[in-house]
């Protein structure tokens, strides 16, 4: 169920409670940090039983950040529906999706700053990587990528770096409409497209070359 869906505060599942409370927690986290106070104020504002809120976020700050990032991901996808993507080239799709996420997170940049500080702690690095990977995977999928071979991972790995650096730039961008961040993103995506073009050309040139691994295999296991 989309976090944008209206919920009945008196009859929530834990997943619904997380989706409902995540944006309110983020708004409070900008001032009070990602902790109990932000959670409890969001629950009170939304009319949610505080015990339900505590149970929904028993994982603490990381669980709250996870839910907020999921909320932002949904806002990003809502801003870039498939019919809109269908009219764009792949570069434009990636740009539009990352910019949509920038727009969704921009009102809560201080909450993002605090969230990234928590995720940068050594004990949270694995979880941080999973959250970032989730986002870049959603971006590539909405952009129409269906690769299941090594391209699946290289595309996401490269975008992971671009996405992370773009969000870092956005934290301190005081230009109107995050113009400097958008220009930075454009340059980095240009780099992705040049890499993909070069990679495709290399693979095409080597498509019919003899396979070294096959040759070595024949030496080891000669045909009878």
Quote the mean pLDDT of the chain: 87
Taking the chain, what is the end-to-end CA distance rounded to the nearest angstrom?
A: 60
Other beta carbons less than 10 A from residue 221's beta carbon: 8
Instruction: Count other Cβ atoms within 10 Å, centred on residue 184.
Output: 18
User: How does pLDDT run across 52-79, given as a tens digit for each residue?
Assistant: 999 999 999 999 999 999 999 999 999 9
* 1-59 pLDDT, tens digit each: 444 456 677 678 999 999 999 999 999 999 999 999 999 999 999 999 999 999 999 99
pLDDT over 90 percentage in the chain: 73
What pLDDT does 180 receive? 96
Q: What is each CA distance from 173 to 45, 63, 129, 178, in whole angstroms?
A: 31, 27, 24, 6
> Could you give the domains of the chain?
14-205 (1.10.357.10)
pLDDT digits (tens, 9 = 90+) for 155-180: 899 999 999 999 999 999 999 999 99
Q: For 94-120, what is the mean pLDDT?
A: 96
Angle between helices 125-142 and 109-119 (to 10 degrees): 130
In this prediction, residues 101-116 reach a mean pLDDT of 96
Q: Can you state the percent helix, strand and coil of the chain, rounding each to 5?
A: 75, 0, 25
For residue 46, what pLDDT is reported?
95
**pLDDT reported for residue 4:** 45
Contact 99, 48 (CB under 8 A): no
Q: Contact, 162 vs 192, CB < 8 A?
A: yes
pLDDT on residue 5:
54
pLDDT at 129 over 50: yes
Whether residue 83 is predicted with pLDDT greater than 60 in this model: the reply is: yes
């Amino acid at each position: 169920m989309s976090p944008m869906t209206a919920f009945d505060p008196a009859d929530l599942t834990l997943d619904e409670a997380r989706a409902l409370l995540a944006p309110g927690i983020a708004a409070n986290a900008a001032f009070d940090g990602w902790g109990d106070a932000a959670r409890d104020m969001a629950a009170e504002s939304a009319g949610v039983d505080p015990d339900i809120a505590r149970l929904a976020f028993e994982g603490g700050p990381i669980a709250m950040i996870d839910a907020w990032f999921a909320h932002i991901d949904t806002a990003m996808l809502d801003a870039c529906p498939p019919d809109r993507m269908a009219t764009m080239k792949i570069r434009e799709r990636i740009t539009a999706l990352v910019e949509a996420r920038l727009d969704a997170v921009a009102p809560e940049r201080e909450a993002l700053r605090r969230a990234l500080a928590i995720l940068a702690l050594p004990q949270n690095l694995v979880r941080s990587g999973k959250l970032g990977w989730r986002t870049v995977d959603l971006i590539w999928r909405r952009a129409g990528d269906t690769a299941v071979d090594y391209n699946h991972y290289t595309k996401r790995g490269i975008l992971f770096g671009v996405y992370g650096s773009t969000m870092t730039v956005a934290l301190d961008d005081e230009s109107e409409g995050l113009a400097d961040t958008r220009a930075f993103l454009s340059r980095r995506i240009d780099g992705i497209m040049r890499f993909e073009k070069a990679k495709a050309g290399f693979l095409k040139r080597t498509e019919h070359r003899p396979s070294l691994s096959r040759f070595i295999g024949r030496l080891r296991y000669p045909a009878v």
